[in-house]
Structure 1
Amino acid sequence: MDKKVSVVLAAFDGEKYIKSQILSILPQLRNQDELIVTLDPGTDKTESEVLNIHDSRIRLLKGPGQGILKNVENGLKSATGDYIFLSDQDDVWHPQKVRKVLEQLNQKDTLLVLHDCRLVDEALNELEPSYFRYHGTKRGFLNNLIRNSFIGCCMAFNRSLLNAALPFPSQLPMHDQWLGLVAEKKGNVVYLPEPLLDYRRHNNNQSSLQHAGILTMIQWRIWLIRALKERKLL
């Protein structure tokens, strides 16, 4: 039997782009797959944009309204698939994304896949052809503890990762680095150097490409190390 795919999309005030994102995802999913949209309370028409897409594979959940980490966690806890893809609300998936990532996840020793993406502006004009090259992405646990290369929209993983990663620790800076570091300690992480989505950058992104201040970054890494030790991963 084919493995089931869950896509977890954490949304908040995303009416401008969420429809085009969902319409780039659904054609790549099979009948048994699901797209979980966990929607935090907001001020725009994101909910109606989702409800106007009539597809039984979409599961619209009420988000906890406690920020992006808790919203992502809400979606992950509700996912029923064997493989889980994370999605932003404002990107566009390339048509071959799910197929190419599943080719890697179906390898018996692969726990998580991180693929490359294009950086684009609001109108999908290319800013950078490769996030990996722009960011200087490096493999391995230590490299990504020091300088994170994991971005959720480019990640998919075996649901077994959730046994070690959930619940998210308190004081966690971002979910994607945590999931990536746990995967590095628990199994094989595949870095796929092929851009498989357009990573849209605009004024209202929930995530940022900018680094925090040095003291904040040091504090975040102390929290991460402490949490990894508590999970007996260090």
Structure 2
Amino acid sequence: MKTVVLLATFNGEEFIVDQLKSIKDQEVQSDAVIIRDDASSDATASLIRDFIRQNKLNWVFSVNKKNVGWRANFMDLLHESDADIVFFSDQDDIWHSDKIKVVKESFMKISNIGVLVSDYRFFPKRPAWKLTNIRKIPTNYERLFRVAPTVQEFFSVRDGCSFAIRSNMVKIIENFFQMIPTDFFGKAMSHDLASWLAGLYCGKTYYIETSLLEHRYHMDSAWQLENKTIIAPKNLFQQNLQLISYLSRILAMKSFLSPKQIDSRFVEVLCNKLQDLKIENSILKIQKNRRLIMLISKFHKYSSVRRALASSLRVLRQ
């Protein structure tokens, strides 16, 4: 089973060497490591060249002629990969020495795995940064689960640094990336969210309940800088409209997959949530019954608006 690590870099001189070391020092070596710098203006490229030369590594390194952005850089690398298992790597993390070993063994245990994510530890440590719990379905293997198709899982709950992809998912992921232009927040689609959704749609997203890397979070990363520009919906009605648009684009991907590729449970949950949101918004339009609107807002945490309506009506009758 051939493996490849795809590392996209840009202005990462401060931390890149630590990550390169952690990839080099893996207990089980990757068959290939491909690094592409996105026209950095700092010393990132020279540090990578020096590291490869000094350690006599057979790694592939190139520099884009112009900056294409981290999303396109990762997707270009994925498109050109030819390994059985593809690892995404950020430029500023530190992999645990058994990461490739554990992931590769997991793919060998369960042939249905198409997209595999793991846990990670944030550093520097901050109490506010915690991983979202993943809704999981047990398998025959300890700490290895299939991700359940629930409403929460319509949003990627792990970062791309923890992802590994089986080669038969690449074309599907590319379709998701191209056909769903933005995420729920209006940001451009990313390689990891496209991978997560594609895997869920096909019932092939799995989860290792083990930390396999140290994930560096710093406020000047490209992702954190983008997060500062997000404009939150003004109210619940607008939030629902935004979510309806996002989920409708996901549902439309059904036409690009064969019936055998689709996890029917995922589509069922998706359709039910869309229906619930549309019903909820039709109720929110009724400006006369403000008390009912307030109750619907309070019960918005329910996965089904039907349960929320039933609860609201019981309260109104009291």
TM-score band, normalised by shorter chain: 0.7 to 0.9
Q: What does residue range 131-142 of structure 1 map to in structure 2 within 5 Å?
A: 131=130, 134-138=131-135, 139-142=147-150
| 1:113 corresponds to | 116
Counterpart pick for 2:171 among 143, 158, 163 = 163
1:51 aligns with 2:49: yes
Change (3 A) 1:144 1:7: farther
Change (3 A) 1:187 1:218: closer
| 2:304 corresponds to | none
- Once residues 62 and 41 of structure 1 are traced to their aligned partners in structure 2, the CA distance between those partners, rounded to angstroms, is 6
Q: Deviations over 1:34-60 (max 9, x none)?
A: 111111112101100100112433211
- Once residues 62 and 252 of structure 2 are traced to their aligned partners in structure 1, the CA distance between those partners, rounded to angstroms, is 28
- Once residues 29 and 98 of structure 2 are traced to their aligned partners in structure 1, the CA distance between those partners, rounded to angstroms, is 17
Q: What does residue range 20-31 of structure 1 map to in structure 2 within 5 Å?
A: 20-28=18-26
Alpha-carbon distance, 1:142 to partner: 3.9
Q: Deviations over 1:149-189 (max 9, x none)?
A: 13110010211110211253162422211101101222432
Alpha-carbon distance, 1:33 to partner: 0.9
Q: Secondary structure at the match of 2:126?
A: strand
Change (3 A) 1:102 1:41: same
Q: Secondary structure at the match of 1:76?
A: helix
Amino acid at match of 2:24: L
| 1:60 corresponds to | 61
| 2:93 corresponds to | 91
Q: Secondary structure at the match of 1:127?
A: coil
Higher relative contact order (CA 8 A, sep 6+): 1
Alpha-carbon distance, 1:100 to partner: 0.9
- Once residues 84 and 165 of structure 2 are traced to their aligned partners in structure 1, the CA distance between those partners, rounded to angstroms, is 9
**More off after superposition, 70-79 vs 135-144:** 135-144
**More off after superposition, 163-172 vs 136-145:** 136-145
- Once residues 119 and 29 of structure 2 are traced to their aligned partners in structure 1, the CA distance between those partners, rounded to angstroms, is 27
- Once residues 130 and 88 of structure 1 are traced to their aligned partners in structure 2, the CA distance between those partners, rounded to angstroms, is 18
Q: Secondary structure at the match of 1:179?
A: helix
| 1:18 corresponds to | 16
User: Identity of counterpart residues, as a percentage?
Assistant: 23
Name whichever structure is richer in strand by fraction: 1
- How many residues are treated as equivalent by the alignment? 226
Q: Is the 8 A contact 1:111 1:161 kept in 2?
A: yes
Amino acid at match of 1:179: S
Q: Which stretches in structure 1 are left out of the alignment for 5+ residues? A: none
Q: What does residue range 1-16 of structure 1 map to in structure 2 within 5 Å?
A: 3-16=1-14
Amino acid at match of 1:143: V
Change (3 A) 1:187 1:145: closer
Under a length normalisation based on structure 1, what TM-score does the superposition of the two structures give?
Answer: 0.83
Q: Is the 8 A contact 1:10 1:72 kept in 2?
A: yes
RMSD: 2.8
Q: Which stretches in structure 2 are left out of the alignment for 5+ residues? A: 136-146, 183-188, 234-238, 268-318
Alpha-carbon distance, 1:228 to partner: 2.2
Q: Secondary structure at the match of 1:35?
A: strand
1:201 aligns with 2:204: no
1:153 aligns with 2:178: no
- Once residues 147 and 32 of structure 1 are traced to their aligned partners in structure 2, the CA distance between those partners, rounded to angstroms, is 29
- Once residues 208 and 123 of structure 2 are traced to their aligned partners in structure 1, the CA distance between those partners, rounded to angstroms, is 19
Counterpart pick for 2:35 among 8, 22, 37 = 37
| 2:246 corresponds to | 221
**More off after superposition, 22-31 vs 90-99:** 22-31
Alpha-carbon distance, 1:147 to partner: 3.2
- Once residues 198 and 31 of structure 1 are traced to their aligned partners in structure 2, the CA distance between those partners, rounded to angstroms, is 19
- Once residues 223 and 48 of structure 1 are traced to their aligned partners in structure 2, the CA distance between those partners, rounded to angstroms, is 45
